[in-house]
A and B are shown apart, each in its own frame.
Chain A
């Protein structure tokens, strides 16, 4: 028998159903793997909770009560509040914060029978593209270059979740995506990452970064698994007024569906100057795979693509500066206070010690673009361009059903190779436009570069049309035959 922790979720569900193994056995195999991990992908390990949940799951299964994720061990990104388990968004300023409530998304996942192995590492407050800004240290990508053991980043911000899934430490993991924080690390680590349409998942209990963009999603090792896991976290929630009052379709039924006649849009603006020939080839191969499966390739245009990143870097920091104003050393987390300090002194000292440099930069950029005299020139301008970017997609979908692009402009890099903020931001050039428009996206691993590192292709769907994304994602996965670790 294959090692239990190398199974897909679909196969594990099958094995559990047949009685080949119990959730307790499956969970123990993962607890051992997490215990020995050297990637720094888990910052809080919860083996007792996992074992307890697994035993409960085995009991339920005997009674015939089987959820969609019944008995499956998963990792939970540290920005989801988990009742009684430290949740800090990997920031020093939330030191020791232990929620007394459970986020809707993790609660939904546990209601469907999932087992929590622990909390995964991430960029501080989800601000980063390399998992380099976490207060708990860097995460190591389980992949490395051929004949070169340089440590590579797993991508970010959900770097711990991505690395843990690829290294077979958990069968799936929760992530969150604001501008690419699921899709980019999935591409860097060679697994499947999905961000659903904005509004599919409740944001209640997710530590906020940029509220008009933040959306929960999942990492898994197959497209089918991603559909199963995503189905179990979506759904309307009265506690989030932006959560859509809609039924969640059976995403997993879409995987494996015929894509004959579907129109795949190729946006010409995603051919960037200086894009590597490897990425061009990956994209070309992807087009051919889908063409061979019966889809039609259509050239489309998204004319405002080049403005998406700078637009994002106004809107996201603006929202972050407002969201992060709650960290004041009064109600939770870190407090820095010395005798004689005023209230303002305490705020400033606490926030200065508690936030890392990237978070400080973004708070300050956000404060600046919202400040008197600059609001119209920056923030309002960005909101208007966001309208144009969204309209670009609406126009494109008159001609196609789904859009195919590379997920990232490069493969995983080493810490230190891209250190200035702007070149780090460019990692998300292909993922940010869909985020601004609130559209669903998936990254599917489809090949390796010349150094042996995984590369991914992204599919962007129409609003609330995850089913087509999963259908085409499944076809892409089947044709590519990518082999994980």
Chain B
């Protein structure tokens, strides 16, 4: 499974990782090699096998729907790169 340069750019975009032009080739080779190696899974017959998303064989725990914790606005903001008036600051997104 060989990825094209265009595909690598698309994956990088979906991942929100900016790659410089001279990095593309390097990632293209490495990602293609990893995908080549993964390809061997296709030889396993899995037609009647259920997929497994977790090893934990239990129902998700349920509790009453009431507030049990919270009120940490300042704690939550304390590690933000920029905050003002009790909010995170981000670049303008709506003109």
A-side residues, CB < 8 A to B, are 96-101, 198-199, 212, 238, 241-242, 244-245, 304, 306-307, 310-311, 313-314, 321, 325, 328-335, 337, 341-349, 351-352, 355, 360-361, 363-365, 367-368, 371, 377-378, 380-388, 390, 420-422, 436-438, 463
Given the complex, which residues of B lie within 8 Å of A328, measured CB to CB?
16
Fill in one digit per residue for B1-25: 1 if any A CB lies within 8 Å of its CB, else 0: 0000000100110111111000000
**Which single member of A313, A334, A346, A437 contacts B34 (CB below 8 Å)?**
A313
Whether B55 and A343, one on each chain, are in contact in the complex, defined by CB atoms closer than 8 angstroms, is no
> Contact at A346–B91, with CB atoms within 8 Å?
yes
B41 and A361: CB pair below 8 A? no
Please provide the chain B residues from 31 to 74 with a CB less than 8 Å away from any CB of chain A in the complex.
Answer: 31, 33-35, 37-38, 40-42, 44, 46, 49-56, 58, 60-61, 63, 72
Q: Could you say which of B49, B55, B58, B80 contacts A388, with CB atoms under 8 Å apart?
A: B49
What residues on B are CB-neighbors of A330 within 8 Å?
80-81, 88, 90
Q: Which residues from A are CB-within-8-Å of B81? A: 329-330, 332-335
A307 touching B44, Cβ below 8 Å? yes
Chain B residues within 8 Å of A, Cβ to Cβ: 8, 11-12, 14-19, 27, 30-31, 33-35, 37-38, 40-42, 44, 46, 49-56, 58, 60-61, 63, 72, 75-76, 78-82, 88, 90-91, 93
CB pair B79–A387 under 8 Å, yes or no, is no
- In the bound complex, do residue A351 and residue B16 qualify as a contact, i.e. CB atoms below 8 Å apart? yes
Contact present for A364 and B18 (CB under 8 Å): no
Task: Report if A371-B17 is in contact (Cβ < 8 Å); known contacts: A337-B91, A343-B93, A385-B41.
Answer: no
Report whether over half of chain A's contact residues are helix, strand or loop; otherwise say mixed: helix
Contact B55 A381 (CB under 8 A): no
Contact with A212, one of B14, B38, B54, B58 (Cβ below 8 angstroms): B54
Q: A386-B52, A387-B51 are in contact. Are A97 and B79 (CB under 8 A)?
A: yes
Contact of A378 among B27, B38, B49, B72 (CB under 8 A): B38
- Taking a contact as CB atoms closer than 8 A, the residue among B31, B51, B53, B56 that contacts A365 in the complex is B31
Apart from A96-B79, A348-B16, A349-B18: 20 A-B pairs, beta carbons within 8 A: A99-B79, A238-B63, A310-B40, A313-B34, A328-B16, A331-B79, A344-B16, A351-B16, A365-B31, A367-B15, A368-B35, A378-B38, A381-B42, A386-B52, A387-B49, A388-B49, A390-B55, A422-B33, A438-B55, A463-B55
Q: How far is the CA of A413 from the CA of B63 in the complex (A)?
A: 50
Q: Decide: B11 and A360 in contact? CB cutoff 8 A.
A: no
Known contacts A378-B38, A385-B46, A421 near B75 by CB under 8 Å? no
Which A residues are CB-close (under 8 A) to B78? 98, 100
With both chains docked as a complex, state the minimum distance between the C-beta of B22 and any C-beta of chain A, in angstroms.
Answer: 13
Distance (whole angstroms) from the CB of A419 to the closest CB of chain B = 11
CB pair B55–A212 under 8 Å, yes or no, is yes
Shortest distance in angstroms between A355's beta carbon and chain B's nearest beta carbon? 7
The 3 closest A-B pairs by CB, nearest first: A438-B55, A383-B51, A335-B81
